[in-house]
Amino acid sequence: MPYQDLRAFLTALRQSGELVDIERPVALKYDVAKALAKTSSVDGPALMFKQTGTDFPLVGGLYGNRKRALIAFEATEESIHARVTKAIDNPIGPVDFAGPAPCQEVVLTGDDIDLTKLPVPIYSPKDGGPYITAGIVVSEDPDTNVPDIGNYRFQLHDSNVMGLFSASNHRFGKNIAKAIQRGVPLHGAIVIGVDPMTMFSCQVQGGDATNDWFVAGGLRGAPVELVKAVSSSLKVPAHAEFIIEFVVDSDDQRVEGPLGEYTGYYTPASPKPTAKVTAITHRRNAIFQGLLTGKPITENHVLKQIPFEASILRQLQAQYPSISDIAITSSGGVQTYVVIAMTPRYEGEARMAILATMASNLHPKWVVVVDPDIDIRKSTEVEWAMSFRVKPSEDVFIIDRTATAPLDPYTDGGYSSTVGIDATRPFGVEFPDVSEVPDWRTFDLPEIDKR
C-alpha cells in the first residue's frame, strides 16, 4: 500500500528510528540548516522541529540518506531500479477527491495571506532571504493544458510576494515563457508536504508532453487524489499539508538570490519574475517541510538520485541492453558524474554507451563505463578499474562544447565539455583474472558480523 500522505510516511520513519523530534526552540535563521547539515554528515535521522517561533512545526531531512529513500519506495537496493522502471512503464491517472479536501481545511485569502507566519528557513549566510526549497510547483502548459509538477525555489520578498527561479529549459520556465508570449496570466501552486512518491515523481526524467500526475500515480501504484485550487482552475493534491496558490508577474521583476545550490556554490542574485500569492490553504495542525541544499551530500541529491538513475537507465537499456546498472553520483550533484556497468557485446559498444549518456538531458562532465564486477557505488572500485583497465591514449576521449549542467559555476559561454572513459576490460583480448578470496562475503565471523 502506498503512503497516503506525508503523515503516514513520518509514522513509518518514526517506527524505523529515522525521525527524531527536536523539542527545544531552534531558530529559522541558520540553526535549522546547521541541524540538518549535522545530521546529514553522520547519516543521521530526519528532524522534526517542534518549536519554530510560528504556529507550525518544520520537518527536514526526510530524504537525507539512501535508507530513507528506500523506505519511501518500500524497496530494497536490489529491487529499486526495477521498481521505478515498472512504475514509469505503468502510469496511473489521477482522480478527483470526493468531499472536502484535507489540504483546504483552513483557507486564507486577501488580507489573511501572510507568508511570514510560515516556518521558512534562511539556510546560508549569503542567501537572499528565507527560501521555500521543498515545494512542488504545479503549473500547466498554456498551449496544451498538460500539468507539470517540479521542484523549484521561492524566496520570500514580503507577506504575499515571492521571487521565483526556473531555468528556461525546465517545464515551469517554458510555461512562463509561453504565457508571456500569449499575454495570459500563468497560475501556479506550491505544494508542501506530500506523500513520498509524489515528491520523487518530480525527478523522473520525462518529456514536455508528460502528464506528471500519471507518473506519480505509477510510482504510488494508486491514483493521486486531486482537488481544484481555491483561486484558479489548477488541481492540487488533496492530502498535502500546505498549498500556496499564486500568479506569476513577469512585469514585476525583483532581485532574487543568492542561494546555496545543489552544486555547493551560491548562485548569483539577479532580477527575476515574482509570484503574487492569491491563497494559502492548509490542513489543521499542518506540518511544514524544509530541505537543505548545498555541497553534496544534502537531501536534494538523495531525492534526485533514484529517479534520475532509474529513468536514465531505462532510456540507455533500450539501446544497449547489456547495461546492467548506473550510478549518478551525489558528489557530482547527481548531474555531472555518471558510472555505468555493462558487458560490451562488441568492440566500441562501451564508447557508444558513453556518447548516448552524453546526449541525455543529464549533461554530464564525466562518464565512466566499467565491467559488472565493479561496484559502481564505491569510488575505490571505480578508480581501481580506471587505474588498471584503461589505456589513456585509447580509452579516454573528450567531446567539446557539450551542454552544461544547470547552475554549473564553471562554464564557457554556456557550454562545457565531457570526458568519456572506457574502463572495461579490452574487448576480445586475454586479460588477467582478478585475484580475490572466494566466498569471503558469506564467511561466518561473529566477532565482526555483530558490530
The per-residue pLDDT for 407 is: 82
Biggest distance spanned by C-alpha atoms of the chain: 76
pLDDT tens for residues 183-202?
A: 999 999 999 999 999 999 98
Residue 450 has pLDDT above 80, yes or no: no
The per-residue pLDDT for 238 is: 98
Please identify, in words, the CATH class of the domain defined by 63-289: mainly beta
Backbone dihedral angles phi then psi of residue 61, each to the nearest 5 degrees: 75, 20
Q: What distance lies between CA 94 and its chain's CA centroid?
A: 21
Residues carrying CATH 2.30.110.10, the chain: 63-289
**Structural Rg of the chain based on CA atoms:** 23
Write out the three cell numbers for 389.
Answer: 583497465
Q: Across the chain, what does the average pLDDT equal?
A: 93
Write out the three cell numbers for 299.
Answer: 537531501
Phi-psi category of residue 227: left, alpha or beta, with phi > 0 → left and psi -120 to 50 → alpha: beta
Name the least confident of 90-94, 209-213, 250-254. Answer: 209-213
Residue 171 has pLDDT above 80, yes or no: yes
* Residue reference for cell 490542513: 283
What beta strand segments (E) does 166-317 contain? 187-192, 225-228, 235-237, 242-256, 259-260, 266-267, 270-282, 288-289
pTM to 2 decimal places: 0.90
Write out the three cell numbers for 385.
Answer: 578499474
Residues carrying CATH 3.40.1670.10, the chain: 320-423
Between CA 352 and CA 354 the distance in angstroms is 5
> Is the domain 320-423 a CATH 3.40.1670.10 member?
yes
CB contact at 8 A, 238 and 230: no
- Pick the more confident residue, 438 or 59: 59
The per-residue pLDDT for 295 is: 85
Beta bridge pairs of residue 176: none
Between CA 248 and CA 179 the distance in angstroms is 9
pLDDT tens for residues 310-351?
A: 989 999 999 999 999 999 998 888 889 999 999 999 999 999
